Structure 1
């Protein structure tokens, strides 16, 4: 079987021009080209003090046009009001000539919408569209996080594919959201990541669980990747714990972990998704962290297989996949030992479960 691994060796750092000890501002600029098969996204979400939630993303190339040449920009904005109603639209397309993606920092414009930032502060502007709008300021409370000091996964016998994640996991959020005919002043906590890939997620991964947890004293990032069958269902975990006071990473997995799940059938997507996921990360140096998440609200359901046309389903069948996607609002818990004292903290989180493969007992769901 072909391999999947994190690029965390000295030769990897040299090849990519990355300083393993310091994240540089240009790393949040555009990283890939616009050739067929490439994809890039700048993603932001927020859990707000009034009970609302918001998700924003900016693509140079729409996920529905990955195999086309050139840029095909879009944005997505989804707002969940305190009463649970959702507003916005997942994909809103704009001409490439009306868009810009800078290379020296996060400097993104898609039509009249934009985000600019430098790992410390970000300004998000969503012009009125799909009956929503936003003007938010994200101020980083922790340092950027790269798993294995890299955040880049390579796949294939000769590292021909790459899949990435670079995160600013906790930010203070202030500003306004407009939905349901009114503008709301909001405060809360938010997350940002930047990803760039040259392989379709539905080809690369059987599934993943991705999310972030904020507790009183710590911030957690988890990205539980499980590779597709062609990559031997290889688990490639990202997991880090950051101290809210210093912003420093206090724990990062070295890849050794166990996972237990309690499954529940999702009636629309027709597959069993984890209702509760419990992890224990234990490194070779003896350090260990336990993390659990259990969802309590479905924020988004993408019925990508059963909701597709017969022609599209036939194409998925030929690929041997049944893609479906869930986004949740959940409870999370964190526990570990620090300086001889037990740490046990909890909080709420947003997480997603992107489930592209067919149900398979080998796939660690």
Structure 2
């Protein structure tokens, strides 16, 4: 089997030019090229105090044009009102000559829209488009998180493929959102990540669970990747805990963990998804953290296999996959020992479960 691994060795830091002890602003700049097969995204979401929600993303290359050479930039913007109405558009294309992707920090311009930031503060500007607009300021409340101090997984016998996640998990959000003909002053909490990859997720992964949790004193990121069968179902979790008071990363897994689930059948997708997922991360230095999530509501069901046309389903069959996607509203609980005392904190969270592979008892679902 081909391998999958986290880049966390001294030779990896040297190859990448990364300081394992300090995140530098250039790490949030353009990290990939425009050759066919590459994909990159700067992603932001916000949950606002008035009950509204917003999602923004910027691509140098549209997801629908990944196999083409050159840049094909787009943005996506979704705003959900407190009443639950959604405004915006998933893909809005712009010419490459009207776009810019800087090489010193997050400095992105797609048509008239932009985001500029340095891991501490980000300014997002969305010109009026698709009946929405936004001007938001994200101020980081925690330090950036990169698993293994690179945030990069490589796949293949010679590390020929990469899949990444570099995140600022908790931010204070202020500014304005415009939708339904009105401009609203908003405040709340937000999340940012930056990903760059050169392999399709349906080729790389059997499934993943991704989410973040805010409790009174801590912020948690989990991104549990399980590689596709060709990569021997290798399970590589990203897991970090940040202190809300200091913003520091106080724990990240060293890869030693156990994982227990209680499964339940999702009738539309016709596969068993975890109802509860319990992770016990036990590092070699003796630190142990337990994280449990249990979903209470299905927020989104993407029945990508059984809902496809016969022609598309035949293509999936040829690839040996049965893709389906779930987004849940859940309760997350964090537990660990600090200064001889047991700390347990819980909170509401939204997490996604992207399940591309076929059911297999060896696949760590």
TM-score by length of 2: 0.95
Shift of 1:235: 0.2
Which residue does the alignment assign to 1:100?
Answer: 100
Which residue does the alignment assign to 1:187?
Answer: 187
Mean Cα deviation higher: 293-302 or 159-168: 293-302
Q: Deviations over 1:88-128 (max 9, x none)?
A: 23222222222211111111112222111110000112222
Secondary structure of the corresponding residue to residue 263 of structure 2: strand
Question: Any runs of at least 4 consecutive aligned residues in structure 1 with deviations exceeding 4 A, and if so which?
Answer: none
Asked if 1:176 corresponds to 2:176, the answer is yes
Mean Cα deviation higher: 339-348 or 46-55: 46-55
Secondary structure of the corresponding residue to residue 333 of structure 2: strand
Shift of 1:297: 4.1
Mean Cα deviation higher: 155-164 or 270-279: 270-279
Shift of 1:27: 0.5
Which residue does the alignment assign to 1:275?
Answer: 275
Secondary structure of the corresponding residue to residue 14 of structure 1: helix
Q: Deviations over 1:183-227 (max 9, x none)?
A: 222211111111111111111101111111111111111010000
Asked if 1:155 corresponds to 2:164, the answer is no
Which residue does the alignment assign to 1:130?
Answer: 130
Distance in 2 separating the partners of 1:110 and 1:228? 33
Shift of 1:132: 2.5
Secondary structure of the corresponding residue to residue 68 of structure 2: coil
CA RMSD of aligned residues (A): 1.7
1:34-73 mapped onto 2 (5 Å cutoff): 34-73=34-73
* Distance change in 2, residues 1:273/1:79 (3 Å): farther
Mean Cα deviation higher: 246-255 or 348-357: 348-357
Mean Cα deviation higher: 44-53 or 188-197: 44-53
Which residue does the alignment assign to 1:313?
Answer: 313
Which residue does the alignment assign to 1:202?
Answer: 202
- The count of residues paired between Structure 1 and Structure 2 equals 365
Shift of 1:16: 0.9
Distance in 1 separating the partners of 2:112 and 2:358? 39
Shift of 1:316: 1.8
Shift of 1:267: 4.1
Shift of 1:302: 3.4
Shift of 1:268: 4.0
Mean Cα deviation higher: 23-32 or 261-270: 261-270
Q: Deviations over 1:235-262 (max 9, x none)?
A: 0010010111111111110111122223
Which residue does the alignment assign to 1:6?
Answer: 6
Which residue does the alignment assign to 1:238?
Answer: 238
Secondary structure of the corresponding residue to residue 163 of structure 1: strand
Q: Deviations over 1:38-62 (max 9, x none)?
A: 1111111112222222221111112
Which residue does the alignment assign to 2:263?
Answer: 263
TM-score by length of 1: 0.95
* Distance change in 2, residues 1:293/1:78 (3 Å): farther
Which residue does the alignment assign to 2:328?
Answer: 328
1:72-91 mapped onto 2 (5 Å cutoff): 72-91=72-91
Answer whether contact 1:80 1:299 (CA < 8 A) is retained. no
Shift of 1:163: 0.9
* Distance change in 2, residues 1:179/1:207 (3 Å): same
Secondary structure of the corresponding residue to residue 206 of structure 1: strand
Shift of 1:327: 2.8
Shift of 1:6: 0.7
Secondary structure of the corresponding residue to residue 42 of structure 1: strand
